[in-house]
Amino acid sequence: MKDVIVVGGGPAGLFAALRLAEEGLDVLVLEEHEQVGVPTHCTGIVSGETSRLYKVPDEVVLSRPQSCLVVSPGGRVARLEDPGEEIAVLDRAAFDLALAAGVLEAGGAVRTSCRVDHVGKHARFVEVTTEGGERLHARALVLACGVTFRFHPLIGSRLPSPILHTAQLELAAAPAEALEVHVGRSVAPEGFAWLAPFRRRDAPYLKAGVLLRGDASACLDRFLACPVVAERLRETPGEVVRRVLPLGPVARSYADRILAVGDAAGLTKPVSGGGIFYSLLSAQFASETLVEALGADDLGAARLSRYEARWHDRLMPEMRIARWFRNRLAGLTDREWDTFVVALASVDVQSIIKRDSRFNWHSSLIMSMIKQPGIGAILFRSLFR
């Protein structure tokens, strides 16, 4: 019998497995796809703070952009400079593979092409049945299966809300230096589109994507066909990677012998949808909780509730403020977005951004920005729609 089985070989599952294996526990990761990291599910933009949890290998960094352009529907542009947070665009497949290699080096195991069809809880163990009919037993289970919520009845949880849709792909493109975020209802309703430049084998590429409520693939097609974007592309867009993205936590992230981490727990940044840092942080909390619980041979829900208390204390105040802000932005008209971006470019707001912005923690900046008359008035109007 294993100490822990982890369902899902993304960053959350692999990092939880790595930390558990480093503690000498017998850990097995089950990944349904043929290769860890494929298909790539996110753009992979992180800050240097991520390396405080897990040292990101230099070889998985594709680029280190120094600025981000926020572009409104009417073509207004605000340039946001990196305030020294060491922003990096990662090769997500390589990042996940590095985590998997760490799990193996620490004594854990990773099995690919291994889809889990059923999970059953018993008094002394959890039983996992694979697509091939194999039955595996473990003292505890970590759900790290992303936005596949079919196992969540086991923890008495409903689906997270809201859920938005994303689509993304990589394309050969003209060289660029800055990240770009394109906003507006006409661009991506209740969301945004993005372009992240990088180089692969010394050739320039763009990671392009959209986050919105609606048909993400169709929206991405329209965005890439816009003249200001299309003229920069050096190849015809191919097949996109689609997924749904939770912007709020699940109702409950624990049960007897089971914890949910990362996207499976609905832990993403509400404003940007970014999930890597929250995934690693929740995996850290989960591993700490399981090490204590396994050592005490107490894997009941009361004991494992300490995991939720840990992430809740650290993340929930941040997520509440960020979600409120995101909801206000979702209500802006294209004209209001033009005004908002002009305000972002103003000297006063730029000084606030330089002082308060943090890539993974948005609440301080949000609270400072809403006190600015130009921005506060726009957001206030959105409350009455």
What number is the average pLDDT over the span 266-281?
95
Are 16 and 142 a contacting pair, CB within 8 Å? Answer: yes
pLDDT of residue 385 exceeding 70, the answer is: no
Which residues lie below 8 Å from residue 384, measured CB to CB, with a gap of 6+? none
pLDDT at 157: 80
pLDDT digits (tens, 9 = 90+) for 136-191: 999 999 999 988 778 888 888 877 777 899 999 999 999 999 999 999 999 999 99
Q: Where are the alpha helices (DSSP H) in 38-158?
A: 50-53, 92-105
Q: For the chain, list the domains and their CATH numbers.
A: 2-61+90-161+247-317 (3.50.50.60), 69-85+162-245 (3.30.9.10), 323-382 (no CATH)
What's the Cα-to-Cα distance from 80 to each of 66, 181, 211, 229, 300, rounded to whole Å? 9, 11, 20, 20, 47
CA distance 126 to 208: 40
pLDDT digits (tens, 9 = 90+) for 207-218: 999 999 999 999
pLDDT digits (tens, 9 = 90+) for 302-344: 999 999 999 999 999 999 999 999 999 999 999 999 999 999 9
pLDDT at 143: 97
What is the number of helices (H) and of strands (E) in the chain? 11, 18
How many Cβ atoms are within 10 Å of 200's Cβ, its own excluded?
Answer: 12
DSSP lists the bridge partners of residue 243 as 166
pLDDT of residue 381 exceeding 90, the answer is: no
pLDDT of residue 56 exceeding 80, the answer is: yes
pLDDT of residue 372 exceeding 90, the answer is: no
CA distance 320 to 65: 29
Model confidence, pTM: 0.95
CA distance 336 to 330: 11
pLDDT at 378: 82
Give the helix/strand (H/E) hosting 78: strand 77-81
User: Of 173, 185, 152, nearest to 230 (Cα)?
Assistant: 173
What number is the average pLDDT over the span 89-108?
97
pLDDT of residue 380 exceeding 80, the answer is: no
